[in-house]
Amino acid sequence: MIEELYRQADELDWELLSTTEKKLQYRKWIEDPRVGGVLRRFLDDHRIGTWIKDTPMKEYARAQDGFGSMAQYARSRFRGPEHLISRALGDAWTVVPNSVDEKPMHCLATDGEAERYVCWGRPKTFRDLAWAALNQAVAMPSRPLVIVTLQDGLVVSDAERRRQTSIAEHCRIEIKYIHRQLQRG
């Protein structure tokens, strides 16, 4: 059933839907025999909608990055942190083994001499990314890096980019914007 939710979410480009469009889709899923029909044996319609929103769909974006308990159900994924680090810092940089973690998604990167804290996420998570990087900035000698990940249909306005860049510069945090494409499975 979660596979079906994620399959449909992929087809809908879930992360690009408006709040209103998502609310309408939750109603459709409650009525869908492959989703709500399965859950109706255990929950009433209100609880079905709440469960869908708060469990699999809350984890959907993280699952596409290979994180969380629902990652096994994601059919489309982004390439891993190694690819992101290489694009952001260059081919000389790699992910420090066993340093990848989540909330926000982050790792340590090294060029063999220095280590840097790197965190990444969608534009709407910038506040969390900046806070995580700022906390690392006081604990590490190297400047942390925030990567704002973009994808087709998900962009940052020029005004928002200027604001985010200004905040990052003020806090001595490097910021980069990297476009990623989902690898459909």
* 121 band by pLDDT with thresholds 50, 70 and 90: very high
Same domain, 73 and 96: no
- Select from 53, 77, 101 the last residue of a domain: 77
Segment 15-25 shows an average pLDDT of 93
- Select from 19, 44, 77 the last residue of a domain: 77
Q: Would you say 81 and 95 are in contact if contact means Cβ atoms under 8 Å apart?
A: yes
Average pLDDT value over all residues in the chain: 93
Which 3 state secondary structure label does DSSP give 166? helix
Same domain, 55 and 118: no
- pLDDT tens track for 153-185: 778 899 999 999 999 999 999 999 999 988 876
Which residue reads 């969390």 in tokens? 128
Total tally of structural domains belonging to the chain = 2
Domain that holds residue 39: 2-77
What is the Cα–Cα distance from 20 to 43, expressed in whole angstroms?
A: 24
Same domain, 62 and 10: yes
For residue 50, pLDDT over 80 is answered with yes
Q: Would you say 156 and 177 are in contact if contact means Cβ atoms under 8 Å apart?
A: yes
94-95 β-sheet, strand order: 94-95, 105-110, 115-121, 145-150, 174-179
Same domain, 91 and 164: yes
Same domain, 49 and 88: no
Sign of CA dihedral 152, 154, 158, 162: negative
φ/ψ region of 143 (left if φ > 0, alpha if ψ in -120 to 50, else beta) reads: beta
CATH at 165: 3.40.1350
Same domain, 103 and 167: yes
